[in-house]
Amino acid sequence: MSDHAHPTPVAHQFDDREQQTEVGRLGMWLFLATEILFFGGLFTAYLVMRWKWPEAFAVANSKMDVTLGAINTAVLLTSSLTMALGVRAAQLGRGKGSFALIIATMVFGLAFLGIKAVEYARKFQEGLFPGPGFVFEGATGRQVETFFSLYFMMTGLHALHMVVGIGILTVIAAMIRRGRFSPDYYAPVEISGLYWHFVDIIWIFLFPLLYLIHPHL
């Protein structure tokens, strides 16, 4: 976008730009594979506990704010759209458009985190945060607490990934402004996009599991 673009040189260990791009892409896919296993431990724990305590988990599900969750899902899906468009703009060498779309992605990401913070605050007020302050009347109180400990770990880990993603996009946006990318070289934008979509997909699994399984089993 600036007149004096400074295209990033090929790193010394690579023969050419193409190799560097392929390496980055494969590296990110592998990293995402590790992430699936990382979240996988929590998903496994959730499934085992849900299998063991279906009633308690159904009761706990009914405490979830489906509206806020649905809004957040829409927000996050939109952010993935702007991200995909941002990558496309970078590929076409449209610096300004790409910059605006990345910023929009970050704004949607921040909106998601804001709504998540509101939800967390409400859960704290209702005494649903696991630990000594947890209040729940009923015989299955401890298992409801287990649901919420899984809820906070899973969504918390997801939110942490969002924060990291916004950090990455900040760097990408700065690089776009400095004119580091061109139709020949936009791999960092593309690779960051992979990460962003991945975090989005994790949410696509979290939302139904934590919010949508209906209490009237």
Partner 1 sequence: MSHETAVEGTNYLNNGYSLRSWFLTTDHKRIAILYLFTIVLFFFVGGSFAVLMRLELMSPQGTLVQAETYNKLFTMHGIVMIFFFLIPSIPAVLGNFLIPMMVGARDLAFPRLNLLSWYVFVAGASVTLFALVTGGLDTGWTFYTPFSTSYSNTRVVPAMVGIFITGFSSILTGLNFIVTVHKMRAPGLTWFRLPLFVWSLYATSLVMVLATPVLAITVAMVAFERATGIGIFNPAIGGDPLLFQHLFWFYSHPAVYIMILPAMGVVSEVIATFSRKEVFGYRFVAAASLAIAVYGFLVWGHHMFVSGQSVYAGLVFSILSYLVAIPSAVKVFNWTATLYKGQIWFQTPLLYAFGFIGLFTIGGLTGLFLAAMAVDVHLTDTYFIVAHFHYIMVGGAVMGFMAGIHYWWPKITGRLYPEGWAKFSALVLFVGFNLTFFPQFLLGYLGMPRRYYHYPPEFQVLNVLSTAGASILGVGYLIPLIYLLWSLKRGKVAGANPWGATTLEWQTASPPITQNFPTTPVVTSGSYEFPALEEVHSE
Site string for partner 1, 26-55 (x = CB under 8 A): xx--xx-xxx-xxxxxx-xx--xx--xx--
| Residue 143 in the binding site for partner 1 (CB under 8 A) | yes
The first and second tokens of residue 139, run together, are 């015989």
| Residue 131 in the binding site for partner 1 (CB under 8 A) | yes
Interface residue with partner 1, options 6, 96, 122, 142 (CB under 8 A): 142
Decide whether 108 or 195 has the Cβ nearer to partner 1.
Answer: 195
| Residue 15 in the binding site for partner 1 (CB under 8 A) | yes
Site string for partner 1, 80-119 (x = CB under 8 A): ----------------------------------------
Residues of this chain that bind partner 1 (CB under 8 A)? 11-13, 15, 19, 22-23, 26-27, 30-31, 33-35, 37-42, 44-45, 48-49, 52-53, 56, 130-132, 142-143, 145-146, 149-150, 153
